[in-house]
A and B are shown apart, each in its own frame.
Chain A
């Protein structure tokens, strides 16, 4: 499903791919497990620049390896996670971050769907309320006989529990 980094090679863009190899290798790992865990966490947020949508933690591209080593060096030198990410964005831009920063130009991305949910939710609630009051008005204009039938129907429906058993047709 994923496209190997070779796509870029086919594109005539020289990539930094030598041979296939693993992502994180034993010699890269830091001795301190806490620091190593932080390194893994950061690596998963950084994009392997020569790959399609892979983090440097997943990628076997040599540049990804260099960046993983660099991340570990910065951590060992006492950088915070934020400082490491800043170090890399200074050089590669926001592109290197798999989670884009919240900026005016990413507001649509970050908040768009949720704003949509709010608008759609409010719209639906409003619509349903209107429809119900219309229905009540309509019900008010019923004849006594209709009213009785309506009540009977409502009673069936309410007593119907998990209504699946009613075959839809029965209401007609």
Chain B
């Protein structure tokens, strides 16, 4: 009994070291969304670009789509933009967007420079709708199913690997 008791600190400590070893390989900054499998929040945002309609929760029903939250002042958004463009053009995926806390002119300039892959863009000037989505950093990308429910969230710029391994399989699955 006493022997076991004296061994206990070592055992606990080894557990702690193992935990740290796993912790070292872990990225604590990625947050899961609290909205997964819940319907997208009710919202209606006005348009920002001529010829591209605004975005509301009704628009998200009926087809599998992506919703991208972006801003002209966000550098990583520029990084992922070409990829979004390819997804829309080459894969024919419907991508809607929420322009987050930005001046409308700045958004228009950004899209004029970078091209517009989005079917609909809602202007969320005060960022309130984004809070309803649980957005905490731009860019964020959501996968929405036919019923208008949020199925997946990606935080940070989309990279080709994320698209290949997560986004596309998910869209294929949901489109069946």
Question: Are A and B part of the same complex?
Answer: yes
Contact with A along B82-102 (1 / 0, CB 8 A): 000000000000000000010
The answer to whether A14 touches B77, judged by C-beta atoms less than 8 angstroms apart, is yes
Question: Beyond A62-B101, A92-B136, is A13–B29 a contact (Cβ under 8 Å)?
Answer: yes
In the assembly, what is the distance between CA of A16 and CA of B128, in Å?
14
Which residues of B approach A to under 8 Å, CB–CB? 29, 31-35, 41, 71, 73-77, 101, 126-128, 131-134, 136-139, 155-157
Residues of B within 8 A of A18 (CB): 73
B134's contact among A11, A50, A62, A92, by CB below 8 Å, is which?
A92
Q: Flag whether A23 is at the interface (Cβ < 8 A).
A: no
* CB<8 Å pairs between A and B, sample of 23: A8-B137, A12-B157, A13-B155, A13-B156, A14-B76, A15-B137, A18-B73, A49-B31, A63-B136, A63-B137, A66-B127, A66-B131, A70-B128, A89-B34, A90-B34, A91-B34, A91-B132, A91-B133, A92-B34, A92-B134, A92-B136, A93-B34, A95-B31
Q: How far in angstroms is the closest Cβ of chain B from A140?
A: 25
Q: Which 7 A-B pairs have the closest CB atoms?
A: A93-B34, A49-B136, A14-B74, A91-B134, A14-B76, A14-B138, A13-B156
In the assembly, what is the distance between CA of A13 and CA of B77, in Å?
10
Residues of B within 8 A of A12 (CB): 76, 156-157
Q: How far in angstroms is the closest Cβ of chain B from A78?
A: 18
In the assembly, what is the distance between CA of A18 and CA of B103, in Å?
14
The answer to whether B131 touches A91, judged by C-beta atoms less than 8 angstroms apart, is yes
In the assembly, what is the distance between CA of A50 and CA of B137, in Å?
7
In the assembly, what is the distance between CA of A58 and CA of B126, in Å?
21
In the assembly, what is the distance between CA of A107 and CA of B39, in Å?
31
A70's contact among B32, B71, B77, B131, by CB below 8 Å, is which?
B131
Q: How many residues of A contact B (CB 8 A)?
A: 21
Question: Beyond A90-B34, A93-B34, is A13–B137 a contact (Cβ under 8 Å)?
Answer: yes
In the assembly, what is the distance between CA of A8 and CA of B31, in Å?
13
The answer to whether B29 touches A67, judged by C-beta atoms less than 8 angstroms apart, is no
Residues of B within 8 A of A92 (CB): 31, 34, 134, 136
Residues of A within 8 A of B139 (CB): 14
In the assembly, what is the distance between CA of A90 and CA of B30, in Å?
18
Residues of B within 8 A of A90 (CB): 34
